[in-house]
Structure formats: C-alpha cells, structure tokens
Amino acid sequence: MSAPPAYLELVCPAGTPTALRAAVDAGADTVYCGFRNETNARNYPGLNFDADELEDGIAYAHAHGCKVLVAVNTFPRAGNLKLWHEAVDIAADLGADAAILADIGVLDYATRKHPGLRRHLSVQAAASNPASIAFYRDNFGIKRLVLPRILDVGEIAALIRQIGVEAEVFAFGNLGTMVEGRCYLSSYITGLSPSCDGTCAPASHVAYREEGDRLVSCLDGVTINSFGKHEAAAYPTPCKGRYVARGETSYLFEEPFGLNVMAILPQLKAAGVTALKIEGRQRSRAYVAEVVGKFRRTLDALARGEQPLEAESGLSAIMEGGRETFGAYKKGWR
C-alpha cells in the first residue's frame, strides 16, 4: 500500500498490464496507460491495454491506493473520430481517475459526454503559457496540465502561479527537444505521424547496418547516425541524430541523453509542481520497477525532511545513451 502523496505525486508509466503491477508495487501514486491502438502516443507493438486488461489494471491499482490515468492523447484524422470517442467512453465507464487528452475535438466530446470524468491536458497539446492554458481550462475544465518540456524552473513557477490548474512535469526518461504535438520530423521521414498514429520513429522503420568499423542507424532509409566501436548506438529518433550543417557534423538538435530531475526535486516542489511524470511506457517491467522504486524512496526521504541517499540518483546506467540532462529545466539549454 503506497502512502498518500506527501511531497510530489509520482505518476508512472504502465505500457503493459505487467508494467502496471510493477509500477504499483514499486510505489507509484498514479499510473498512466493507453489502449492498443493509435489513440495514444505510445502506439507500439506489444504494448498497451484492451478494455478487459484496463478493467483488471484499474482494479489492481485501486486496491493498492493507486490512481489510473488513461491517455487518449493523439489527434484523430478527419473522418475517424469514432475510435477516440470510444476510448474516452471506455475510460469513463471503467472508472479511470482521469483521461489525458490533447485534441480540441476530443476534449470537446469528453467535456460534453462525460462531464464527471476528470480531464488532464496532454503535453501533446503544447500549452506553454497562461493564455493558452486558460483556453483549455475555461472551455474544457481541465484540472491538470502536463507541461511541455521547454520551460525552465523559474518560468514554471511563474506559470503555475497564474493558471489555477495542477501542473505535472516530466521527471525522467526520454527527452524530446521539439515542442510535443507539433513535430512532424518522423512523419516527414516515415509517413507515420506521432500526432495521429502515436508512433515516433517506429521500430518497423529502423535499420542498423555495418559500414567498415562503424554502425550506421537509419530511419526508413534515411541515415540518422553513425557510431564508432566505443560508442553506444542510440535509437534513431530524428531529433537526436547527427547531421551536417555548415560543413560540421554535430547533434544539431539534441544529444541522445535522458532527462533526470532527481537532483532538482526540491526546486520543482517549490515551484508549485503537483506531479512528476516518469516517461517510458515502451520500457520493460524491470526498468519501471527500478526507476519508480528510486523515485519513491527519494520522495519519501524528502517528505520526511531527510537528504535522499546519493546512491538513489544513480540511474544513468539504464538511461538512454547512458547520460543524463536537466533539459530545459536549467537556463542555457536554449
């Protein structure tokens, strides 16, 4: 049984029913998951839930005092609204604690059809200023906003003071450098859209090939990176590739680092943040258990007024690229 959130609510990824149990057992306050189709932004083979699995998952989580959020956070293509509406209906009928939504049409539907279902605004909606957030709050009654990963801690604090809704921030995992919900790089290269299909750089379009002593990574035939023997081969996400500009080769957009805010939790708390989001619905049960466990112990220590153990911050080994960053939370990232 996890304790009620005393410091910051820990929101954890449940890519599969197994990962959901792992996250709950490791001390998640809340888990988030999605259906096995393009209605959520992690639409990858072998992941996600059908309605029965979600029902079981909600029962397990609720029995352990843990909340369940259902992500219906992609954008339906024209003429194809039904699947998204059904996803919202199922989430409401099964007693999900909230739905995480992005599309204005889906938000409108949920607001009218299921006024009792709590609505969170997905990071995919890219609401990053008080006026934009007020639009979603006033029109769709959103209770919480998942903040785009583009503001520094000072800006987050200033924003939270003005918006009148809870703020959830990304705490750990994959770090996109473009504004989410407004990036077409992957569909430009593969034809599949992160916004509508829920897949960024899908594995089905990824290939690695050896060229001499180098390993080249490709996305649908487009070279994204090349690695020497001493380098770990990062996944070929288009915004984290090596490119050539002005005759120079570099990680022009972002290096393949993972985000980790473990060291700035007190600052986020002081900024007025309500919840921390662990990214990684595509990750293994073991990964989820380890990351959630470390964050749980750290948050509990902070809640008791103790300094968290140094060892708990050591998550680099399971981090993408094996290296960590504070991303946009620290000034100078821009």
- Residue number, 62 or 214, with CB nearest to another protein: 214
Residues 128-157, interacting with another protein (CB under 8 A): 128-132, 134-136, 138-139, 150-151, 155
- Residue number, 46 or 228, with CB nearest to another protein: 228
Q: Does 226 bind another protein (CB under 8 A)?
A: yes
Neighbouring residues of 277: CB distance < 8 A, sequence distance ≥ 6: 11, 32, 146, 168, 169, 170, 171
Q: How far apart are CA 74 and CA 123, in angstroms?
A: 10
| 25, 56, 243, 312: residue in contact with another protein (rule CB under 8 A) | 243
Q: What is the CA radius of gyration of the chain?
A: 19
N-to-C CA span, the chain: 41
Neighbouring residues of 120: CB distance < 8 A, sequence distance ≥ 6: 69, 98, 99, 100, 101, 142, 143, 144, 145, 146, 168
Q: Does 37 bind another protein (CB under 8 A)?
A: no
- Residue number, 30 or 177, with CB nearest to another protein: 177
| 9, 38, 97, 220: residue in contact with another protein (rule CB under 8 A) | 220
- Residue number, 225 or 274, with CB nearest to another protein: 225
Q: Does 169 bind another protein (CB under 8 A)?
A: no
Q: Greatest CA span in the chain, whole angstroms?
A: 60
Neighbours of 325 (CB within 10 A): 18
Q: Does 334 bind another protein (CB under 8 A)?
A: yes
Neighbours of 157 (CB within 10 A): 17
- Residue number, 223 or 313, with CB nearest to another protein: 223
CB of 176 to another protein, least distance (A): 9
Supply the DSSP symbol for 195.
T
- Residue number, 67 or 242, with CB nearest to another protein: 242
Q: How far apart are CA 247 and CA 227, in angstroms?
A: 19
Both tokens assigned to 299: 């948050």
Q: Which helix (H) or strand (E) holds 318?
A: none
Taking CB under 8 A as the rule, which mask of x and - marks residues 170-209 in contact with another protein?
Answer: -------xxx-xxxxx-xxxxx-x-xx-------------
**Contact 285/18 with Cβ under 8 angstroms?**
yes
- One-letter identity of residue 326: F
Could you identify the residue written with the tokens 């939370």?
329
| Polymer length in residues for the chain | 334
- Residue number, 2 or 128, with CB nearest to another protein: 128
Q: Does 306 bind another protein (CB under 8 A)?
A: no
Could you identify the residue written with the tokens 């029995």?
63
- Residue number, 31 or 90, with CB nearest to another protein: 90
Q: Does 60 bind another protein (CB under 8 A)?
A: no
Q: How far apart are CA 185 and CA 183, in angstroms?
A: 6
Taking CB under 8 A as the rule, which mask of x and - marks residues 247-286 in contact with another protein?
Answer: -xxx-xxx--------------------------------
Total residues interacting with another protein, rule: CB under 8 A: 70
Q: Does 119 bind another protein (CB under 8 A)?
A: no
- One-letter identity of residue 232: A
- Residue number, 195 or 199, with CB nearest to another protein: 195
CB of 256 to another protein, least distance (A): 15
**Contact 272/160 with Cβ under 8 angstroms?**
yes
Residues at the interface with another protein (CB under 8 A): 75-81, 102-106, 108-109, 125-132, 134-136, 138-139, 150-151, 155, 177-179, 181-185, 187-191, 193, 195-196, 216, 220, 222-226, 239, 241-246, 248-250, 252-254, 328, 332-334
